[in-house]
Amino acid sequence: MFTLIIEDKHGGIADEYSFEEGEFYIGRSHNSDIILPSDNVSRRHARLYTADGRCYVEDLNSSNGVFVNGRRIHEVYQIQRSAQIKIGDYYLHIESDSESVAEEERTFCRLVGRNLAFANQVFRVQRKVSLVGRGKDCSVTVIDPSVSRIHGKLTVERSGSITLEDLKSSNGTFVNDDRIDIATLNHRDVVRFGNVEFLLEIPDAVDRPPSRPAVAPRERTGTGTGPAPGDRRYATVGVQPAYEDDWGAPARRHGPRSPWMILSVVGAVIVLAAILIAIFNKDIFGASEPAKPGPVVEQPDTSPDREAEERERKKKEILALIDMGNERVKNKQWDLALETWNQVVDRDPLNAEAQKAINQIKVWKRDKDLLDEARKLRIDLKRGQAAKLLREIAEASIYWEEARGELAQLIASKPTMLMNADNKLRQKDCEGALEELKEVQQVDPRDTSILDQIDDIQKKLGTRKCNSR
């Protein structure tokens, strides 16, 4: 079983497919099996197919190419587990379930949660390549607003080292508080995805006993080859150093022969004094006052009934917020809707419906901003820029119909724009005509005849047929 996850340029999941075997054509044409609606995707861009349990991708002579893990491919390419495929503005991720049992049983490393709702949770990394993110198809699923659907990738290299790569996440990937694009991880590194922090544990490093420094054998006699006095590499407590006199014979010790006898007598005196104080405590110091009882602290009610009531109250509160969030989405009150759904996540961080709603609201809010900006540009007669913004709104958006209407109005103004370009050309204002035609080409990029006109004018620049500005 293969799973294809399509991520748009804003980090949102555009679509997901699951398939066993087959052949699929990718492109912006509605006749494609997998449709990627974008100007930088060709009508018939690439072919994705399976054979003998493996998945392959092929570039079908597209204009902007197919990139696998950042490199453009020029022939059929076998997709490795969790490879990142870029087509136009879209990123495609392929996951496969065909992994050996032995590899599944092995734990390459562990991620131990340190904060938020993931404190003390343990994620075992048992694949050589594992995606990390909110998406349900990620090997390490971290459901938190600060984590992208496909946030990062853990890879076990042939050498056994583990690398972490950030997959263009919104809030970044950090190792020991340093933001990274790609980094090699060490045992007990602190790894952070967005705001969620983990401690990395590598079992091989944990199980390996710490190496002990070799200790040089101690000399039995003071012949000048032992450690120097004060050398901290050797223990000296309770050991008297031997010194040599001028004739090479060991020097005699001075001072008391039995210091332990003095220490024993002092200890005995201290013990006897403690016993006497314990016996005659009241006579010496007087009776102590009885301790006053402390304030009575009311214990919280932790009975099962109380806990059930609290869970039911929280559940009703979340359901009320969900209803309010859906109503505000229906009314296109994006800021209020986003605030409401964030309150749901605050109360239930694992609520998948809330995470999906937040991501969708962010996309629709962006589309609304694009639409408003495009309308302002059209009024200012900046038609090319307006058309470019409108085409960033996907067909799946609730604002697509409005965007398509705005585009229709811009294309309807195309004859007027061509007339303006022709008038400027007659006045030998070649640069003005060129600017006008470039704007026409932005409004209707499918009209290839405009490109021919642009080429003709560019050839005239610098000749007598054009006036210099």
134 and 162 share a domain?
Answer: yes
Q: Pairing relation of β-strands 140-141 and 23-27? A: unpaired
Name, of 90-104, 375-389, 455-469, the range with top average pLDDT. 375-389
What is the predicted pLDDT for the residue at 227? 41
Evaluate if residue 466 carries a pLDDT over 70: yes
DSSP structure string for 311-379: HHHHHHHHHHHHHHHHHHHHTT-HHHHHHHHHHHHHH-TT-HHHHHHHHHHHHHHHHHHHHHHHHHHHH
Cα Dmax for the chain: 124
Q: How many CA atoms lie within 13 A of 217 on its CB side?
A: 3
Query: Which position has the token pair 């709603």?
Result: 357
Q: What is the mean pLDDT of residues 328-352?
A: 88
416-419, long-range: CB < 8 A, 24+ apart: 417/383, 417/443
What is the predicted pLDDT for the residue at 197? 95
Residue 76: partners with Cβ closer than 8 Å, 6 or more residues away:
56, 57, 58
Name, of 68-77, 226-235, 460-469, the range with top average pLDDT. 68-77
Evaluate if residue 105 carries a pLDDT over 70: no
Evaluate if residue 180 carries a pLDDT over 80: yes
Retrieve residue 432's tokens: 């003005």
Looking at the domain assignment, is residue 286 inside a domain? no
How far is residue 197's CA from residue 340's CA, in Å, rounded to a whole number?
Answer: 26
Q: Pairing relation of β-strands 182-185 and 162-166? A: antiparallel
Q: What is the mean pLDDT of residues 1-23?
A: 79
The percent of residues above 70 in pLDDT, for the chain, comes to 77
How far is residue 331's CA from residue 139's CA, in Å, rounded to a whole number?
Answer: 37
Retrieve residue 456's tokens: 């003709």
Q: What is the mean pLDDT of residues 223-233?
A: 41
What is the predicted pLDDT for the residue at 457? 86
Looking at the domain assignment, is residue 148 inside a domain? yes
76 and 113 share a domain?
Answer: no
57 and 25 share a domain?
Answer: yes
Quickly state the pLDDT bin for 302 (edges 50, 70, 90): low
How far is residue 428's CA from residue 465's CA, in Å, rounded to a whole number?
Answer: 6
Query: Is 185 in a helix, a strand, or coil?
Result: strand
378 and 412 share a domain?
Answer: yes
31 and 72 share a domain?
Answer: yes
Quickly state the pLDDT bin for 177 (edges 50, 70, 90): very high
Q: How far is CA 261 from CA 238, 270, 273, in A?
A: 15, 15, 19
CATH number of the domain enclosing 72:
2.60.200.20
Looking at the domain assignment, is residue 254 inside a domain? no
The residue from 67, 96, 125 where one domain ends is 96
Name, of 263-267, 393-397, 408-412, the range with top average pLDDT. 408-412
Quickly state the pLDDT bin for 86 (edges 50, 70, 90): very high
Looking at the domain assignment, is residue 232 inside a domain? no
What is the predicted pLDDT for the residue at 283? 56
What is the predicted pLDDT for the residue at 373? 92
Quickly state the pLDDT bin for 300 (edges 50, 70, 90): low
Quickly state the pLDDT bin for 195 (edges 50, 70, 90): very high
Evaluate if residue 295 carries a pLDDT over 70: no
Q: What is the mean pLDDT of residues 415-419?
A: 89
7 and 92 share a domain?
Answer: yes
Q: Which residue has the higher pLDDT, 405 or 13?
A: 405
Q: What is the mean pLDDT of residues 120-128?
A: 87
Q: What is the mean pLDDT of residues 362-379?
A: 90
Q: What is the mean pLDDT of residues 148-164?
A: 88
The residue from 75, 96, 117 where one domain ends is 96
What is the predicted pLDDT for the residue at 144? 87
Quickly state the pLDDT bin for 145 (edges 50, 70, 90): confident
Query: Is 284 in a helix, a strand, or coil?
Result: helix
Evaluate if residue 66 carries a pLDDT over 90: yes
CA angle 211, 212, 215 (to 5 degrees): 150
Amino acid at 468: S
Rg (CA), the chain: 37
80 and 153 share a domain?
Answer: no
Query: Is 395 in a helix, a strand, or coil?
Result: coil
Evaluate if residue 153 carries a pLDDT over 80: yes
Amino acid at 135: G
Query: Which position has the token pair 């079908």?
Result: 60
- Chain segment 214-225, per-residue pLDDT in tens: 333 333 334 444
Evaluate if residue 207 carries a pLDDT over 60: no
128 and 172 share a domain?
Answer: yes
Q: Which residue has the higher pLDDT, 248 or 143?
A: 143
SS (H, E, C) 30-86: CCCCEECCCCCCCCCCEEEEEECCEEEEEECCCCCCEEECCEECCCCEECCCCCEEE
What is the predicted pLDDT for the residue at 26? 93
- Domain enclosing residue 377, as ranges: 371-463
The residue from 96, 127, 162 where one domain ends is 96
157 and 82 share a domain?
Answer: no
Q: Which residue has the higher pLDDT, 103 or 195?
A: 195
Residue 79: partners with Cβ closer than 8 Å, 6 or more residues away:
54, 55, 56, 57, 68, 85, 94
79 and 152 share a domain?
Answer: no
What is the predicted pLDDT for the residue at 253? 43
Evaluate if residue 456 carries a pLDDT over 70: yes
- Chain segment 283-292, per-residue pLDDT in tens: 555 555 555 5
Looking at the domain assignment, is residue 345 inside a domain? no
78 and 148 share a domain?
Answer: no
DSSP structure string for 130-169: EEEESSTTSSEE---TTS-SS-EEEEE-TTS-EEEEE-S-
Q: Whose CA is closest to 24, among 85, 82, 103?
A: 85
What is the predicted pLDDT for the residue at 259? 59
Looking at the domain assignment, is residue 282 inside a domain? no
191 and 135 share a domain?
Answer: yes
Looking at the domain assignment, is residue 183 inside a domain? yes
The total number of structural domains in the chain stands at 3
- Chain segment 254-285, per-residue pLDDT in tens: 444 455 667 666 777 776 777 766 666 555 55
Reported residue count of the chain is 469
Q: Which residue has the higher pLDDT, 143 or 277?
A: 143
- On whether the CB atoms of residues 442 and 387 are closer than 8 A, the answer is yes
Lowest mean pLDDT among 233-242, 301-310, 449-458: 233-242
Looking at the domain assignment, is residue 447 inside a domain? yes
Retrieve residue 160's tokens: 């056994």
**Rounded mean pLDDT of the chain?**
79
